[in-house]
Amino acid sequence: MDLLGNTLQETVEAAKALGVSRHRAAAAYADFFRTDRCTEPWVEDCMPPIRTTTIDEETVKFTLSLGDGLETESVIIPMHRDGRVTRTLCVSSQIGCAMGCGFCETAQMGLLRSLTASEIVAQWHAARHRVDNPFDGGRGFPIKNIVFMGMGEPTDNLPAVLQSIRVLADHHGPAVPASRITVSTVGRTEGIRTLARFATARGFRKLNIAFSLNAPNDRIRGEIMPITRAEPIARILGALRDWPIQRSAAFCMEYVLIPGVNDAPEHCDETCALLKGILCSLNVIPYNPRRESPWRAPTEEEITAFVTRAIANGQFCKRRGTKGRNAMAACGQLGNANIRRRTFVPVRIAG
Ligand code: SF4
């Protein structure tokens, strides 16, 4: 039996059919997720093998080989705070992506296929237990947060994404609280509403959502994100307003800062006006050039100017550090050029 894609309850039920007691099933489940050990004959080790590990300073990118010759890409990102380091795992929900964002390396691949819940959870398991850790000489990293910001649009693969979150948050398994899991989306409103319903269930009420805004208006956003033709910003913000947000929490609005595209002072002012009245953090992500990029990365001065202006406008704003750029592990840089466009699935634009 593959435990990766199942919650404890599902495992117990499946094990019962094999004549395995609840107690033994629960012990095997905890062993597999917490210590990466399992001696029960009915448990299969379905972990895909680690294919590559690339390190850029403290950022670790790894790929898992899937049975069909494709591979997942994930990144373990160090977060430094108060002299301590914690690690965030960025997982992929698909191989490639159909959304076609112009600034993103993954978009160059097209969508090859969606991942199963098991393949998503496998990325956590590998990061937690099996990826070589050169910093302590062992294997695996303690993972504090999980972000669905790797390859793929999570709302394009929601059944598997939601099931993976159920498993990741299972107290008896990975036990990553929903409050430490963030799903990032280009803003498909139907998907946001489904996620919102999921986030009203017990145990998932603190699930976080991040929206890739990236532009002050539909015209500029449409130039870099084709999905905007089907989902204008106003409609997405409307869906986000219905999110069952905790009083103390705030949405994360991601803004990939691209010189000459969306970084002018008037773009900053227009973005801040757009977000007025929404409890949110504007997270400015300096553009990481993809292969054959028509745009360069912004300079420190350009980033500081945009962030400073947003703060002066009264918008809570922070910049995201650039990590892993040399290993093509930074935000927007995931994607294997060798399997690019093996099967291209065009963007689905409705309406
Ligand atoms: S930014 Fe995200 S949604 Fe857009 S193409 Fe890249 S992976 Fe897909």
Domain ranges for the chain: 1-46, 47-339
Element (H, E) at 9: helix 8-17
**Whether pLDDT at 331 is above 90:** no
**pLDDT score recorded for residue 342:** 44
Instruction: Specify the ligand 1 atom closest to the Cα of 152.
Output: 7
**Whether pLDDT at 246 is above 90:** no
Lowest mean pLDDT among 55-59, 65-69, 125-129, 214-218: 55-59
**pLDDT score recorded for residue 347:** 37
Mutate to test the pocket of ligand 1, among 104, 115, 185 (most ligand atoms within 8 A of CB): 104
Going across the sheet that includes 251-257, the strands are: 50-56, 59-65, 71-81, 84-90, 145-148, 181-185, 208-212, 251-257, 280-286, 317-319
Contacts of 250 by beta carbon, 8 Å cutoff, 6+ apart: 279, 280, 281, 316
**Whether pLDDT at 333 is above 80:** no
**pLDDT score recorded for residue 320:** 82
How would residue 325 be classed by pLDDT, with cut points 50, 70 and 90? Answer: low
**pLDDT score recorded for residue 344:** 38
Ligand 1: which residue has its CA nearest to atom 6?
104
How would residue 182 be classed by pLDDT, with cut points 50, 70 and 90? Answer: very high
How would residue 141 be classed by pLDDT, with cut points 50, 70 and 90? Answer: very high
CA distance 159 to 146: 18
**Whether pLDDT at 115 is above 50:** yes
**pLDDT score recorded for residue 341:** 46
Mutate to test the pocket of ligand 1, among 97, 103, 188, 344 (most ligand atoms within 8 A of CB): 97
How would residue 82 be classed by pLDDT, with cut points 50, 70 and 90? Answer: confident
**Whether pLDDT at 173 is above 70:** yes
- Taking only the tens place, the pLDDT of each residue in 281-295 is 999 999 988 888 999
Report domain 47-339's class: alpha beta
Catalytic residue among 38, 268, 280, 331: 331
**Whether pLDDT at 249 is above 80:** no
CA distance 305 to 313: 12
Contacts of 197 by beta carbon, 8 Å cutoff, 6+ apart: none
- Taking only the tens place, the pLDDT of each residue in 250-276 is 789 999 999 999 999 999 999 999 999
Mutate to test the pocket of ligand 1, among 186, 255, 348 (most ligand atoms within 8 A of CB): 186
- Residue 149 C-alpha to ligand 1 middle, in angstroms? 8
* CB-defined site of ligand 1, < 6 Å: 97, 99, 101, 104, 106-107, 151-153, 186, 332
- Taking only the tens place, the pLDDT of each residue in 207-234 is 999 999 999 999 999 999 999 999 999 9
- Residue 199 C-alpha to ligand 1 middle, in angstroms? 23
Work out the mean pLDDT of the chain and round it to a whole number. 90
Task: Tell me whether residue 331 is one of the annotated catalytic residues.
Answer: yes
Strand stretches in the chain, DSSP E: 50-56, 59-65, 71-81, 84-90, 94-96, 111-114, 132-133, 138-139, 145-148, 181-185, 208-212, 251-257, 280-286, 317-319
Lowest mean pLDDT among 92-101, 126-135, 153-162, 245-254: 245-254
Torsion, Cα 248 200 208 142, to 10 degrees, reads 100
- Residue 99 C-alpha to ligand 1 middle, in angstroms? 6
pTM across the whole model = 0.92
What percentage of the chain carries pLDDT values higher than 70?
A: 90
**pLDDT score recorded for residue 210:** 94
Nearest alpha-carbon partner for 156 in 95, 103, 223: 95
Instruction: Compute the average pLDDT of residues 130-159.
Output: 95
